[in-house]
Structure 1
Amino acid sequence: MGGRWNSIGLQILCLLVLTLSVEIQRSWSLNDEGVVLLEFRKRVHSDPFGAFADWNPDDHDPCLWCGVHCDAGKVQMLDLSGLSLEGTLAPDIGKLIHLKSLVLCNNHFSGTIPEEIGQLTNLELLDLRDNKFSGTIPTEIGKLLSLKSLLICDNKLEGSIPLDIKRLNLLSELQFDENLSAACGISCVNRKFGHRFKGKDACGECCYEPVGSSDRYVVQNVESMVSYARRRLLEQSNNLQAPPASVGPVPVQIIALPTTRSSGSFPAVPNAKKHPPPPPAAPPAVPPPPKGNDAPSDSTGKESKGQPSIVSGDKWIYFIIIILVIILIIMGAGLIFMCKKRVVKTIGPWKTGLSGQLQKAFVTGVPKLNRSELETACEDFSNIIDTFESCIAYKGTLSSGVEIAVISTSVTTSKEWSKTSQTAYRKKIDTLSRVNHKNFVNLIGYCEEDQPFNRMMVFEYAPNGTLFEHLHVKEMEHLDWNVRVRIIMGTAYCLQYMHHDLNPPVVHSNLNSRSIYLTDDYAAKISEICFWPHKAPSKSKISGDDESEHSTLPALADAETNVYSFGILLLEIISGKLPYSEEQGPLEKWAAQYLNDKRSISYMIDPSLKSFKNDELDLICEIIQECIQPEPRKRPTMRDVISKLREVIAISPEQACPRLSPLWWAELEILSVEAN
């Protein structure tokens, strides 16, 4: 009987889990407007201020995203002005049917204005000023019957203002460039509303307003925008008091955070919660609400606009989820109680040993971590494993036993941390968060606090030191030929991924044996753990040319430079010699005498190697000669290098990766108890 009850209970439990998962997926999946906004973001290829840092596809509601303003859960304003965004305007923008205000002024948008913008029938403000839009103005704008302000000046538009704009009876402001001509009669019709125009219409009439009346129209336009902003505040469901009118621009705080991690599609930090604006010093008087049954209501008996209902939006879904969770807990507790009566215990729960913030580091991407957690993991930052020119590396151990590397800047006060340093730091996080490869020391989090001041990045930890140490430090463990070839293949696969699979590509700022770390099973992991690119060695040490050193910001490394550095790295791996020394000079010049004569190639092999494979050595030397070509355009791509290496070396990408990932942070605890 007990066994039958257990079977029925397990079936009920599985059904509840399935129902709960469906409800959770339905309630937390991104809505249609959020999907449209992500399509809009895909067309933006440059975001220097990190405006899209909190546009997280895992959110179920885009209303918390930067620049997105909603009313009753619907996107009604998209304001991304003055952010230096570069890209094109996605046609999907026409699917935001509830949008009332689209403000993209003072950016670098290019291409044509999509005709789908005519689907925004509720649009009241369209501000595309000071961009690089080209082509003609779509006639579909004439369908925007709710449009009150059309601002399209300071672009590269051609042709004329569509005649259909005459249908826009609510239009109170129109600004366009001098090179555009207005359709016959448009300027004449709109002049009676006090519009301000630039250019001439198709009738040849000058559309410039008289000098004496220009100021009047400017004031009208400003008052129109102020009234629009105040009306938007009054329409918010929160019923906040509107701030006093002001003719000055309203400051907007833009928090520039890095973007997403790993694949390049996700932002690098979790959502930044929006905070309401501070209450005004002197709010306008608001009449007291009516008492008793005099509360205003519409003819259908519904609550008046601005008064939210007790249960609105998705709250009923949360209510159902809570009930299901309670039922699930009760059922689970009952099953656990019954199972305890059985003789053998089987499988215990997953034991992570991670607190909330650190657990997110291994689940959702690259979050912002707390200093206190990192301080505990790194034993009060006493466990220093390396020092660099601008930062210090600590080793940390989480409560689950997972080892991490924490890189902290040596700057200790915010006064010494310039805006340029902050820009470089966030750019570094943005770039590294897009790289997700098993042969790369992946970024798993960052920490940024001002009291006390710190800027940190958290990486995977590779416990076997650097390739440089194993090649040039006698006390380190010897690497045989097969291990060295596996390191070569792992490095090549990772560089191919960075150069060809990522868009835009990511290049390493200073590829050498010191930036290659080794795992427990001696797999290669390329690292880029400093806050900004190293200064590359001068060209005189590389090719004999007398040129100045590279600057650190921005990095001048490119794919061709990485290929050249990869060739030098191959020479260092097979010869065991330093890339440069006073005795031999540049390594490539020392090796030239052997590379040019295949019969003497074996003389350049590291004496510590007891054996090697001639066919692999010959192929590697051929690749070295191609990679260190003085002319960058003649060097092969990493894709070409991989193709050639695979002709002789049968090491797949999976074989070149670490056998045990350093991110193996969750461990299944199996409990076994002998039967009585």
Structure 2
Amino acid sequence: MLAFLALILFSFGNLVAVSSLNDEGVALRSFKEYLKEDPEGSLNNWNYSDETPCSWNGITCKDQRVVSVSIPKKKLSGFLSPSLGSLSELRHLNLRNNMLFGTLPSELSKAQGLQSLVLYGNSFAGTLPFEIGNLQYLQTLDFSQNFFNGSLPESLIQCKRLRNLELSHNNFSGSLPNGFGKNLVSLEKLDLSFNDFSGSIPGDLGYLSHLQGTVDLSHNIFNGSIPASLGNLPEKVYIDLTYNKLSGPIPQNGALINRGPTAFIGNPGLCGPPLKNLCSSDSEASSPSSIPYLPSNYPPQGGGKVSGRGLSKGAIIAIIVGDLIGICVIGLLFSYCYSRICHCGKKKDEDGYGFEKGGKGRKDCLCFTKGESETLSENVEQYDLVPLDAQVAFDLDELLKASAFVLGKSGIGIVYKVVLEDGLTLAVRRLGEGGSQRFKEFQTEVEAIGKLRHPNIVTLRAYYWSVDEKLLIYDFIPNGNLATAIHGKPGMVTFTPLSWSTRLKIMKGVAKGIVYLHEYSPKKYVHGDLKPSNILLGHDMEPKISDFGLGRLANIAGGSPTLQSNRVASENPQRGQQSSSASEAATFTSASSFGSYYQAPEAFKVVKPSQKWDVYSYGMILLEMLTGRTPLVQVGNSEMDLVHWMQLCIEEKKPVSDVLDPNLAQDADREEEMIAVLKIAMACTQTSPERRPSMRHVLDALERLQVSSH
């Protein structure tokens, strides 16, 4: 009887506990019960004994109502509970980078106030429910890197407030819904890459006038012609159509003009500029948009006959003769330039390099030496251009004939922007001219570099070695470097300061690149010379780290490296080995003169580099981006480095507005985020390396910051 009474009392206690939790708490408990695993115990404090779930991990409330469920990167495994749809005030659901699976429950659409739905990096499958169109306040939909399949529901176009639609790396198929472009006119980011979308590209995509960065339709099976209306997109938008089944002439208007061939490769049926394969006359006639610069009254009326206003026979002959003379002149120029190539090793310019300069030296005939090593040393083998990427489609001869623009010069040589005849743009760094006995060592180092692939690290595509010439060929990065983006440069007519959102994006991208080097690269590399001047900025301001291990490569090549970090043991095999690329603005800005200030204090005392060196350098970069100041700060009549200046400001309790870059005043509503990043920066720049966090912890802190800001 006593045991029975105790059981009744225990059950009654449980009922009281359950009844004390409100309906939203019960719904979230159902979410937890649908999970199979929670290895990190992220939901351990989700208790029935609480009155509301507002104190639970990952839950944010407003007026005691749940408005956000954010539990990213916690290795949660299981199904997604339909009960989340009963959270009537839910605005943000973020479950990215977990191990959730199953289908997307249609009941989720009952939370009609949802503004962001982020399920990136899970294992969801099945089709999207038609009810998703009920989420008419949705602004961000990110289902990338899952296993969703089937066509997009027609109802998706009812989500007219959508600004970010990211569906890459799934198994979606079929055509895009009718009215996709006309209805989703608020889109700022569109990524449909790596799916099986088919059919023609909708012509109404030209209505998406708010798009930014890259519109990525690559790696699908879209067919038919490229609609000329895509030219109506903002001119700064990069349109990636690679690896589809598109055909016909490439329109030459608006945002499609002056795009390099890399935007169209993998579509054998495409023709016309900027590709090498010319269009047939039939296809050209059927697509007027592929003929960009003809006046509106062309061709002349009258069935193609030459009227009285047409060209006379004599004029036509004169044009032909003029063309022949022009071709001869061009041939002579190429012959002269090639002769310079053959004599570069004998007659060099004042910089000691075989480039024939003209004007201010901005545009040059690219005169690399070729073949001379055979006469200089019978024991050294002559090597051709060695590709490190299967997509390299150019050879040494094409490189030799290309136009070159000087981007920057340092003690490790000159970096050039090189434009091939087909429009492909590369960055070429010339190293030293000695080191004839160390080819195998150079080959081992440079081919290890070529295997590294990460979106935030500059990619090495090919290299060339001879006794007289050592070349490293990289992707060309178009938007300059971070030093210029922060401070501008002398002579810059207009300077647009980076917004806080862009700075935060760059901070996070650089952190991802360093984490890759530290944890996922084959030898867990150390960069050792991280600074703003070797962080380049891509099309959408995505950061790309360069100058990785350049000192060691230059040493092997016989150059005389003069990097600020030459106190680092360049011969240490644990040293990072990614070399640099170049950008359209000079990579070597005045900021590089502050290189030593980015080095950790212990780098002056010890030989073997450690990953904590990179952490210190990264912290310095954060301080520079936060304050807008150079690493050396003028204080009265004296100077101090940026770290000590920041410590002084903290000790003197100066207002935050006195510390932050004045250009960030427009983002004053995000001051809390800036202060959080400032704390991260100060942790990274601790004098003792043991007290600095790892780059993995830094990246996790930044990602949590971005999640909370949403």
Per the normalisation by structure 2, the TM-score is: 0.37
Larger radius of gyration: 1
Per the normalisation by structure 1, the TM-score is: 0.39
